[in-house]
Amino acid sequence: MSVSPVTEITECTQEDKRLALERALHSRTFARSEQLRAFLRFVCEAEMRGAGADLTEYVIGVEVLGRPEGYSPAEDSSVRTRAYELRQKLEKLYSTELQEEAIRIVVPKGAYAPQYVKPSPIPHTEPPVEAALVVSAGPAVADKAGHSRSGSAVHGCWQPGPWQPACSARRSLSWDCGRLH
């Protein structure tokens, strides 16, 4: 699952950060992940207090995951594992449930201090007109299962073969080309 590119926000108020944290914590994505919610809350609150640089694997292990004083992060990878899971949950959150979120929380790989970022707009580019008007006879080709893929390319899409539907003339998304027609 891939999230749109992001740009770090340099002017993010404490209220913006708090709101982004609360929206993430109260999301369906984090609803059944008590330990990951605690991890996210801990690192975000530390960053908001100005203590983001003090976030270490050891501190998180003791304060969030309940590891005993003196535990060895070199022998216990639980913090690294939970950090990986947290990054995955955040990516899922912003690619599904909170796609339109103006400010997103990101925990960069190799660090525990969160960053607050703003999604960059993804430019929408149309194919050149010439490509949209191409009509050519397509060769009969077999896929790995031996099914014929004969058809013709219209609008850069393969038209019906025995195993795939035609691109619709209606304004709908066709799975064989991923373009609206």
For 85-108, what is each residue's pLDDT tens digit?
999 999 999 999 999 999 999 999
Q: Length of the chain, please?
A: 181
CA distances from 79 to 56, 58, 65, 86, 93 (A): 9, 8, 8, 10, 20
pLDDT per residue as tens digits for the range 64-80: 999 999 999 999 999 99
Nearest to 16 by CA among 116, 94, 90: 116
Let me know: does 166 contact 181? Beta carbons within 8 Å.
no
Task: Read off φ and ψ for residue 119, nearest 5 degrees.
Answer: -65, 140
Q: Who wins on pLDDT, 147 or 57? A: 57
Catalogue the E-assigned strands of 27-144. 104-106, 115-119, 135-137
How do the domains of the chain map onto residue ranges? 6-119, 125-181
The pLDDT assigned to 12 comes to 86
Residue 162 has pLDDT above 70, yes or no: no
Q: Is the confidence at residue 169, as pLDDT, over 50?
A: no
